[in-house]
Chains A and B, each alone.
Chain A
Amino acid sequence: AQSVSQHNHHVILSEAASLELGCNYSYGGTVNLFWYVQYPGQHLQLLLKYFSGDPLVKGIKGFEAEFIKSKFSFNLRKPSVQWSDTAEYFCAVNLNAGNMLTFGGGTRLMVKP
């Protein structure tokens, strides 16, 4: 069965610091990759997604992620975080042939003003 690992459970940064959140998945076939964000008190929202093509994908609010197939990774990055980026971030995977999403355990990001 596929699984998703997010190695950083809690991250604390100061505003303007750069962010990289790790995500690794275990599945050898073709996958679709997603990052979702959950702001305090709000529901899960899609940040960005990768289906095919350019492995560097850009999402909303200045976020981007790079798919490295050889490393089974899909790390999320942002060059300069803001206080408003404080949230929980979830990496998710699904198979082309399937529809269920498999989520990682999440990374809780706190940005200090």
Chain B
Amino acid sequence: DTGVSQNPRHKITKRGQNVTFRCDPISEHNRLYWYRQTLGQGPEFLTYFQNEAQLEKSRLLSDRFSAERPKGSFSTLEIQRTEQGDSAMYLCASSFGLNNEQFFGPGTRLTVL
């Protein structure tokens, strides 16, 4: 499968714990995006990388959230001191070139107890 992959697919954690999610984009895609989706809503943009540079961050991305893309390939999204309001589906997408068509992964569903 050469699509976007995300791990883990599900994560259950207790409030206050740290969690880290991984996204592997489509090979050679230079842009990588993180979105968050809560029940009954459309995805909301969190942050975006072009190669290893983080170019844009949403105000939704509090200081408890950090994302990296160290070698311009896979990316990690870490949430520190999780809160119940962080429970959501975290989506990763990647794209290449000027047409900016984004391909989405299956998501990581986070449940904070």
Question: Footprint of B on A, CB under 8 Å?
Answer: 4, 6, 32, 34, 36, 42-46, 49, 51, 90, 92, 94, 98-106
Contacts and interface: CB of A to CB of B under 8 A. Distances in A.
A82 B19 CA distance: 41
14 contacts: A43-B91, A44-B43, A44-B93, A46-B103, A90-B42, A99-B100, A100-B33, A100-B45, A100-B48, A100-B56, A100-B58, A101-B35, A101-B45, A103-B43
Most interface-central of B55, B102, B103 (chain A CB within 10 A)? B102
A80 B88 CA distance: 34
Contacts of B40: 105-106
Interface in B48-75: 48, 50, 55-56, 58
Contact of A44 (B44, B50, B56, B91): B91
Nearest to A90: B42
Interface stretch (B10-18, B20-28, B77-85, B104-112): B104-112
A106 B40 CA distance: 8
B41 interface: yes
B31 A43 contact: no
A90 B104 CA distance: 13
B42 A99 contact: no
B103 A104 contact: no
A91 B104 CA distance: 15
B99 interface: yes
A43 B106 contact: yes
Contacts of B31: 99
A106 B42 contact: yes
Given A100-B56, A101-B102, A106 B45 contact: no
Contacts of B56: 98-100
B69 to A, nearest CB: 14
B53 to A, nearest CB: 12
Contacts of A99: 31, 33, 48, 50, 55-56, 95, 100
Contacts of A42: 106
